[in-house]
Structure 1
């Protein structure tokens, strides 16, 4: 059964296959400013080296710490991987707070599911599992965005209680409660 886990070297082989899948759909090009796009450009030709992959995993884990160095205008983010045994299925990143940019377009939570694992309910389950983590970070309602034409992602957000706010810059913006409905918190 899949679970959200901190990044781990144990799934390197499957991770590499997943990144190849993302590349095959055009991810990682110069205009791809997503987390995966930037990482493919930075690490893509080096991830196969176990030492580089271990450093990458260590860096992802450290990014959750306030004191970790990061690019200007980036905030601490907890990255978790959706894993089934040794199979990497996807990832979710929970940004600990919003910048002006994240408030407009990026939101608190971003996620990706590898190509061969899509349309199987993983994104919905992954977001559901991440909401208590966001709550533990002090986020009472998480802003989650998706492209206007991404019907699948919109359904994932709505299935997790997302309430549509508006559209900005080609993104639909939803607020998702991090406490279970009816929990009184």
Structure 2
């Protein structure tokens, strides 16, 4: 049964397959995958190189952790089924002015071969208790105006539409919605 987990080296082979799928589709999780490929892509195929990558993204969650310039602390969770990597989701601990406009608290992506199976909805639903544990009563989740699938995912977990800004639809999702049976 698929579940969220913290990034771990045991998923290296499946993660690398997913990266190849995303690159072939021209999808880069915003610019995140491009940045990761630039910094770590040359060493991902080696166990030690992948271990350094996993340690680095896990460190991004720490307030004092290293992360790209201008980034806020953010926790990564991978969605896996056994040893198969299906996708990832990130919770940004706070919003900068830019994140408030178009980025939001949460970003997610499902590998192309695992799409249209409800994984994105399950990931978003399952990450809400983690956001709640960070003290976030509600989270901002955004998507491109043209991304019908993501819009449906956000609405499926109770996202309340606020507005459109700069080509992004902005929704607020209560982190306690799971407890209300929504």
> What is the CA-CA distance between 1:181 and the residue it aligns to?
5.8
1:91 aligns with 2:88: yes
> What is the CA-CA distance between 1:33 and the residue it aligns to?
4.7
Q: Is the contact made by 2:158 and 2:177 (CA closer than 8 Å) also made in structure 1?
A: no
The match for 2:162 is 165
The match for 1:10 is 10
Once the two structures are superposed, what CA deviation does each residue of 1:43-99 show, in whole Å capped at 9, x if it has no partner? 223211110100111111111110112233210000000000000000000000000
The match for 1:26 is 26
- Out of 126, 144, 160, the residue aligned to residue 141 of structure 2 is 144
> What is the CA-CA distance between 1:42 and the residue it aligns to?
2.3
- Out of 45, 59, 63, the residue aligned to residue 62 of structure 1 is 59
CA distance in structure 2 between the aligned counterparts of 1:181 and 1:114, rounded to whole angstroms: 25
Q: How many matched pairs? A: 180
Q: TM-score, normalised by structure 1?
A: 0.93
CA distance in structure 1 between the aligned counterparts of 2:172 and 2:140, rounded to whole angstroms: 5
Q: Is the contact made by 1:19 and 1:40 (CA closer than 8 Å) also made in structure 2?
A: no
> What is the CA-CA distance between 1:172 and the residue it aligns to?
0.4
> Equivalences for 1:71-110 in 2 at 5 Å?
71-110=68-107
The match for 1:111 is 108
The match for 1:124 is 121
Closer, same or farther in 2 for the Cα pair 1:182/1:132, shift >3 Å?
Answer: closer
Q: CA RMSD in A?
A: 1.4
The match for 2:49 is 52
SS in 1 for 2:109: strand
Deviates more, 1:81-90 or 1:19-28: 19-28
